[in-house]
Amino acid sequence: MWPRSRTHANGQRVQHAVAIADLRHSAHRRLPAFVAEYLEGGAEDEVTLARNRAAFSRRTLVPRALVDVSAVDLSTTLFGRRLSLPLVVAPTGLNGLLAHDGDLQLAAAATRAGIPFAQSMVSMATIEAVAARLDTPHWMQLYVLRDRAFAEHLIERALAARCAALVLTVDGPVYGNREWDRRHYARPAVPRWSSRLETLAHPRWIADIWRHGRGPRFVNVERYTGTRQSAPQTAHWLRERMDASLNWNDLAWLRERWPRPLIVKGLLAADDVRRAIDAGVDGVVLSNHGGRQLDLVGSPLDLLPEVARFAKGRIALLMDGGIRRGSDIAQALALGADAVLVGRAVLYGLAAGGGAGATRALTLLADELARTLALLGRPSIRSLDASIFA
């Protein structure tokens, strides 16, 4: 079981949360165990999961005094689009199990914050429905299956929906060893009775998720297959069809078919970033999949300085993994990131209080980032660099 965050009064409303940890605690109270562990868990011994957070505590900040920080500018430009914050809502799956219409509520929260929303291929809302909710950039994430016709189908729909970027996730040729997940299922797509019975202790969650008498499904996959399956059944179907042969030649194949910004997510080696640049990508996300794929790998934050030395200004340099504070965002930007992707932090808000909770999570991060810059004596994110560290 995950480590518990500090306790708070029962029934705390999301707008009273003063930190992401508060939203996390509220999410734990509301979610059944099998969903909460899906949200929290990492691969195997969860060493990488812990490293993602630990990376932000190793550095010492050096504030500069007597600087005019009466107005702090958090805006940035990414792929020619001005953003209110250097944040992107990361592509995450199964959001319909965290809150009813979870993906649509996340998209609405991203619009309110003025930041891009990256929709997962395994989201539980159609590409078209998400596009209708967004007034900010809509990115579409893709896993490549052995049947390349599925990728072509998804690309065609993403282009028609005017998605601004395509995010190819490359760190999942096989499914990570998530032991906590397997303990909840007797066999693929069949939960154990203990997990089913524990769910009954969460009536608010049941009423929200099953309000229309049926659970959420992977509707974008259904649009291709033409079949209706439960979420666990479709997840198993996808795992069996992931293309473990995906290689650099396939990236060229995808580049030919996608005329807009192409982002590769899941790189952890500087040489792979160089190859991606040579292949004509427009951006990369340094990522270890939230610690959910290969355990014992390093933190993306620690790789940033090396990659920034040759990639900064040539492509959009992004990272994710362990973002829980505005000071975490400031560190990533100072080390060379153009923006960061936030996953669990905003999902805690969604699970705790739907769209209002997701908005609260983004507001907390924005407020903390502004306060961090002011206390560092940096009036804008453009003034962040390695000199903020001792």
Q: List, by residue number, the catalytic residues.
A: 289
Residue 163 CB-half CA count within 13 A: 30
Q: Enter the tokens of residue 255.
A: 């580049």
Beta bridge partners of 312: 315
Residue 294 CB-half CA count within 13 A: 14
Is there a contact between 145 and 243 (Cβ–Cβ < 8 Å)?
yes
Measured CA to CA, the distance from residue 268 to residue 172 in angstroms comes to 13
Cα-Cα-Cα-Cα dihedral sign, residues 175, 177, 180, 184: positive
Pairing of strands 138-142, 190-191: unpaired
Is there a contact between 343 and 351 (Cβ–Cβ < 8 Å)?
no
- Consecutive H or E run containing 193: helix 193-199
Helix crossing, 20-30 with 344-376: angle to 10°? 170
Please report, for residues 26, 55, 377, the alpha-carbon distance to residue 2 in angstroms, rounded to integers and kept in the order given: 14, 19, 37
Is there a contact between 98 and 31 (Cβ–Cβ < 8 Å)?
yes
- Consecutive H or E run containing 280: none
3-state secondary structure of 171: coil
- Consecutive H or E run containing 100: none
Dihedral class, residue 117 (left if φ above 0, else alpha if ψ from -120 to 50, else beta): beta
CA 172 from centre of chain: 15
- Main-chain phi, psi angles of 98, to 5 degrees: -90, -35
Q: What angle do CA 351, 99, 222 make, to 5 degrees?
A: 130
- Consecutive H or E run containing 186: strand 185-187
